[in-house]
Amino acid sequence: MPRILLIVISVLVALNLQAAPTTAILFSTNPSIVKVHVANKDGNHGVGSGVVVAKDYIVTNCHVIADAQGVHVEKYGVSYPPESLIANWKNDLCILKFKYTDLKPASLGETESLDYETNVFTKSYGGNSTRPQSSFGNIKGIFNFNGFKVIQSSASFTMGASGGGLFNDRGELLGITTVYLNPRGKAYYFSMSVDMIKDMLKNGEEISVTTQSERPFWDNPEESQPFFMQVAGPIKNKMWVKLENISKDWMAQEPDSDESNFYYALSQYYLNNLTVAQKKFKKIIKQNKKHTASYLYLYKIAKKNNLEKEMQKYKKLTLLLDETLTIEIDE
């Protein structure tokens, strides 16, 4: 049997790729998704999404309700006003507390063993839709943030989706859809993990006002944002030395992180330090066999060096993980 095929088969076994969520699972999450309505001091109306996470508790993004003069959630044509909230302004998660909502809580998942390329879907009232909308994708990044995780996925969301749910293919809530970036025409979608919600439900302090006391992390000046957001600007503007410097600072804090090493390798690739880049990409896939982007750039390096067998190997492994990358492979 050809060596390349053996490599692909062994990696396929290690990947244990999952099936997409069933229609029944998709519909089972609908009752837990609500529309959030707010009115500001000028009387303007805004909408967002929310997820029922426990009896009489609904989570949304703090930026949806920040400084609102009035807040209520709506489900099945019934309006519910909250009586208090638990706010983590910095992490952009707010949990609204109600009385007698009688709404179905979502099943809360676990992120301890969360893996790259896990199938996920979002549920929200994106675009001010009349019923919950779904989008589908895979986990593309897992980042440490303030003692918890932030999940990057390819499952898209739009205006009005803030506060919606990110679910696995068993219908378990993994995170809350929060913010997205768009470097080089390819959007990165970030969700705050369900672990933050569990901690807030257990340890959070209830307050009665929506006055924003702290900016959300993504609204800070670039140099104060988390590294996974700082890299977006240099990538969009092709500022590879700046990306190199940011990723070096990131690696100093998290030397074994897949992503700190990946963005350093990416900077070296575009600075044409291909040997250094290749070494880093290989280090990443050794510790994370589902890091699709590293396989893709190993393919690109093999192509630059005209190494046909290496090209075949990394092309197969890249498309095995994410067949949507066909266009990038062809380019």
User: Can you give the pTM of this predicted structure?
Assistant: 0.89
Same domain flag for 92 and 212 = yes
Number of structural domains, the chain?
3
Does some domain include residue 269?
Answer: yes
- Give the tens place of pLDDT for each residue, 198-236: 999 999 999 988 888 899 999 999 999 999 999 999 998
Let me know how long the chain is. Answer: 331
What's the angle, vertex CA 324, arms to CA 320 and CA 329, rounded to 5?
Answer: 80
Same domain flag for 61 and 210 = yes
Does some domain include residue 85?
Answer: yes
Does some domain include residue 130?
Answer: yes
φ, ψ at 329 (rounded to 5°): -65, -45
Does some domain include residue 207?
Answer: yes
Same domain flag for 38 and 113 = no
127, 177, 129, 173: which is closest to 156 by C-alpha?
A: 177
pLDDT value at residue 9: 44
Mean local confidence (pLDDT), 239-255: 97
pLDDT value at residue 18: 55
Same domain flag for 156 and 237 = no
Same domain flag for 82 and 36 = yes
Distance (Å) of CA 299 to CA 184, 217, 284, 312, 317: 20, 35, 14, 8, 9
Same domain flag for 246 and 206 = no
Mean predicted lDDT score pLDDT of the chain: 90
pLDDT of 2 above 90: no
CATH number for the domain spanning 287: value is 1.25.40.10
Does some domain include residue 232?
Answer: yes
196, 149, 161: which is closest to 64 by C-alpha?
A: 161
- From the number of C-beta atoms within 10 Å of its C-beta (0-12, 13-18, 19+), residue 194 rates as buried
Q: Which of the 8 DSSP states describes residue 179?
A: E
Looking at the chain, the whole-number percentage of residues with pLDDT higher than 70 is 92
Same domain flag for 91 and 141 = no
Same domain flag for 139 and 250 = no
Does some domain include residue 21?
Answer: no
Same domain flag for 190 and 314 = no
Does some domain include residue 23?
Answer: no
Same domain flag for 307 and 230 = yes
pLDDT value at residue 159: 80
Same domain flag for 244 and 324 = yes
Q: Which residues contact 19 (CB under 8 A, 6 or more apart)?
A: 119, 169
- In terms of pLDDT, which residue wins out, 168 or 100? 168
Is residue 232 within 8 A of residue 181, CB to CB? The reply is yes
Domain that holds residue 229: 221-330
CATH number for the domain spanning 139: value is 2.40.10.10
Same domain flag for 206 and 239 = no
Is residue 277 within 8 A of residue 285, CB to CB? The reply is no
Which SS3 state, helix, strand or coil, does residue 199 take? helix
Mean local confidence (pLDDT), 14-43: 82
CA distance 212 to 62: 8
CA distance 304 to 300: 6
